[in-house]
Every structure is written in C-alpha cells, then in structure tokens.
Amino acid sequence: MGAGVIYQRVALIGLGLIAGSMGLRMKRDGLAGEVVGTARTARTREMAVGLGLCDRVTETAAEAVAGADLVVLCVPVGAMAAVAREIAPHLAPGATVSDVGSVKRAVIAAVGPHLPAGVHFVPAHPVAGTEHSGPESGFPTLFDNRWCLLTPDGAAAEAVDRLARLWRAMGSNVDQMEPDHHDLVLAVTSHAPHLIAYTMVGVADDLRRVTDSEVIKYSAAGFRDFTRIAASDPVMWRDVFLSNKDATLEILGRFTEELFALQRAIRTGDGDMLHDYFTRTRAIRRGIIEAGQDTDAPNFGRAPGPVTE
C-alpha cells in the first residue's frame, strides 16, 4: 500500500508483545525513519535488537525519546505515570505522545499532567494481542483487521490524524471514542471476561477432588478456552483491573446477577428459561463472524493435537 515514512523517529518505551509487533511492522513496511526502543532489563533490550524490532536501544526512557516525533508508552498501565514523569523534560517540541494501554481514563490521568505544553497527547488502545508476552512473541501482522481505538481527549486534529495513519498502515481499523465509554466497552469485551476466566481456572486448580491431571486431560470440553485467556500477562492484567475498577466491578455485578438467575433456573428445573437464554447468545457469535472478527472454523480451526497413543 506504500504508506511511506509517517514519523521520522519513533520511541517505544517498554518492549513487550505490542511494542514488538509495532516495531516489526514499522520496519517491515518502512513506516518510521528510525525505531528506538528501551526496556528496563538489559536482556529485553538485547533481545529487541536481536529480533530486529528496533534500530537502536537506549538504557533509559529519557534517552529514547530525545528527538523522537512519536513516543509510544508500551508499559503496564500502573507504570505509565512514572515513565511520563521521567520523559517529560526530554520530549521534543511538537512530538506526539501515545500509549497502548487497555484502559484509557486512568492513563490520561496518569500521563496527561506530566506532559509539557506543545506536546500532543493521543492515547490509543490497539484491541489486539495473544496470551503470550514479551518481545519474542511479537509478530508484524498482529494488528491486521483488529481495531485501534483512539481517545484523543482534545488533542490537535493533525496529530490525531497522523497517528491514525500509522495504525492503519500497521493493518488496523481505527475508531475514536470517549475515554469513559472506551473503559466501559472494554470492561464488557475484555476485562470482565478475563477476570472470569482467571477465576474459573483458579477454581479448577483449587479443587482437590479433581486432580490437576484430570482437569488437564479433559480440558477439551470448554475449559481449555478459558485457560488460554487466563495465561495472559499477570502484571498487565493486575494493572488493568486496578485502573478500570469501577467499570469492571459494574459489569461483574451485572454478570453475578445474571449468573444467579441462571443458577436458579437450573435449581428449579426451568428448562424453557435456559433454552431461550442459550438460543439468544448464539446470535451474537454470528455477528462477530460476519464482522470478520473471528473464524467460523470449528474450535477456532485448531489443528487436532498429536495422537499420543
């Protein structure tokens, strides 16, 4: 598609799955004059260079942002404030600061106050990822056909458009959203489902009468889908829940209410209620497949596992 160079120098602060995938895509398609990265540990920095996801790494975030026209904070949400404080004095005038956090109101509150005048702040959330983490898990097509949500909160239109152009060039569809609305929508589509999956896997792990080995052997029955979600990065998810507390607790409250109604239907033998409920939920799956957001292949098109006997 030949989008060309969109930013002269992009600084990636934090080098995990998302930054890794951004770096690989920007380098593959020549979207940035230079990609500079930084991470807390020397091991991650070396790995990032080895994987070719940035041109150069620096030991500190302050060094990384020097002369960058785009700075992307790719650290867990709970670390954003400290990073913003550190980089603020070193930002180039006119630079855009963005992030990839899964919550937006808390990031705006943590980062916004530290940024100097003349810097554009355009928070972003690429709704994409896998259960794997670390720069070695990145791949350049991670964002293809996924949505990237911008919550610009008053940033200059030109800066917003330029960032949107980068995300489109990296394969995403782009939408704008109000931060609180973003946090509520994501509480439904992501945060509550993750907490529920973590909980169910935790329950299985706890049950002494059902040995680990049985839970694992017979996991094909639905549970294994939950374990995938519950294998996501613990630090990232701790921070998501702590920083999107209200919306997550609201959705979990609705969930519990509904779960109790279904439990009551099971207890009283109300088969019609259960059947109606289960019929209604089928429709939403069809919508997701029609929208190109998931595969219609059975079991997600998983290949059958190797036969062990």
For the segment 87-106, give every residue that binds a copy of itself (CB under 8 A): 102
Identify residues 20-79 at the interface with a copy of itself (CB under 8 A): 78
- Binding residue count for a copy of itself, defined by CB under 8 A: 118
Please state the closest distance from residue 50 (CB atom) to a copy of itself, in A. 20
Binding segment for a copy of itself among 40-48, 63-71, 90-98, 144-152 (CB under 8 A)?
144-152
Query: Of these, 30, 89, 161, 189, which contacts a copy of itself (CB under 8 A)?
Result: 189
Dihedral of alpha carbons 55, 58, 61, 66, sign: negative
136 binds a copy of itself (CB under 8 A): no
82 binds a copy of itself (CB under 8 A): no
Token readout for 299 is: 């079991």
Query: Of these, 145, 158, 161, 178, which contacts a copy of itself (CB under 8 A)?
Result: 145
Nearest-angstrom CA–CA distance, 191 and 209? 30
Terminal C-alpha separation, the chain: 49
208 binds a copy of itself (CB under 8 A): no
Do 125 and 167 contact (CB within 8 A), yes or no? no
Nearest-angstrom CA–CA distance, 143 and 164? 13
Q: Give residues with Cβ within 8 angstroms of 192, minimum separation 6.
A: 248, 251, 252, 255
307 binds a copy of itself (CB under 8 A): yes
For 48, the 3-state DSSP assignment is helix
137 binds a copy of itself (CB under 8 A): yes
154 binds a copy of itself (CB under 8 A): no
Query: How many CB atoms sit inside 10 A of residue 128's CB?
Result: 20
Query: Of these, 72, 74, 127, 155, which contacts a copy of itself (CB under 8 A)?
Result: 127
205 binds a copy of itself (CB under 8 A): yes
* Closest residue by Cα to residue 191 from 102, 68, 65: 102
Query: Of these, 46, 59, 144, 161, which contacts a copy of itself (CB under 8 A)?
Result: 144
Nearer to a copy of itself, 60 or 130 (CB): 130
Which helix (H) or strand (E) element contains residue 253? helix 245-268
176 binds a copy of itself (CB under 8 A): no
Please state the closest distance from residue 81 (CB atom) to a copy of itself, in A. 15
* Closest residue by Cα to residue 266 from 254, 279, 256, 275: 275
Residue 58's alpha-carbon distances to 39, 78, 175, in angstroms, are 8, 22, 32
5 binds a copy of itself (CB under 8 A): no
How deeply is 219 buried, as exposed, middle or buried, from its count of CB atoms within 10 A (0-12, 13-18, 19+)? middle
Residues in contact with a copy of itself, shown as a per-residue x/- string from 224 to 253 under the rule CB under 8 A: xxxxxxxxx-xx-xxx-xx--x--xx-xx-
167 binds a copy of itself (CB under 8 A): no
Nearer to a copy of itself, 8 or 299 (CB): 299
Q: Give residues with Cβ within 8 angstroms of 201, minimum separation 6.
A: 223, 226, 227, 230
Identify residues 269-298 at the interface with a copy of itself (CB under 8 A): 269, 271, 274-275, 277-288, 291-295, 298
Query: Of these, 46, 131, 158, 161, which contacts a copy of itself (CB under 8 A)?
Result: 131
Nearer to a copy of itself, 46 or 294 (CB): 294
